[in-house]
Amino acid sequence: MNSAYYLTFSNQRWLSVRLDAIGNALVFTTGILVVTSRFDVSPSIGGLVLSYILSIVQMLQFTVRQLAEVENGMNAVERLQYYGTQLEEEAPEHTIDVRPTWPEKGDIIFDNVEMRYRANLPLVLKGLSMHVRGGERIGIVGRTGAGKSSIMSTLFRLVEISGGHIYIDGLDISTVGLHDLRSRLAIIPQDPTLFRGTVRSNLDPFNEHADLDLWSALRKAD
């Protein structure tokens, strides 16, 4: 931040020096013309011209500086316009009609899945293939950076895969809308977070379940 501010401040000082030089040149030229025309121009008109040229110089400096400030401020507008219209967006929330009971079993198949976080970056998942049967519990073990969290990111499509397919109960999740996909999956994070509000709002943020269902879930989790 300091390096950027130093560069901006230096540019402003350099602009000020140039504007002062232009203003001094205008005043000097006007003064020479008034002196050389002293027999043709009355002293009162000469003084008026010199006072006006000084005001014009100040107005010129103010105008140029304001234009520079506006140009700097328009950078923020340019960034907002870029973020709002040109950034890559997520997939649609709804694409195909998904049966209400999906997923019934929770059978998950990774078929030669490849994933990278951004274009031109190395692959994080390289040809991952596995089959997790419905109701089966598995553990994924690996050091930091091995790709454990990346597998969860691909399931929720937080990051789109670069190759391969992921099937849940026989349905390719790349064809499912994001809302339909994410609303049917659940995850227990490593670090639990309690959001501000009531316990009920944390358990059911979208108000989709009755109180009896929430009490039943709390008893089962006790």
**Average of per-residue pLDDT across 101-128:** 91
| Residue 75 CB neighbour total at 10 angstroms | 9
**Average of per-residue pLDDT across 114-133:** 91
Q: Return phi, psi of residue 110, to 5°.
A: -100, 120
CA distance 141 to 150: 13
Q: With residue 213 as reference, give the H or E element that holds it.
A: helix 211-221
Share of the chain above pLDDT 70, in %: 99
pLDDT tens sequence across 33-67? 878 876 677 878 878 888 888 888 788 878 888 88
CATH class of 108-211: alpha beta
Looking at residue 39, its pLDDT comes to 67
Domain spans in the chain, listed from the N-terminal domain onward: 2-85, 108-211
CA distance 128 to 144: 17
| pTM over the 0.85 mark | no
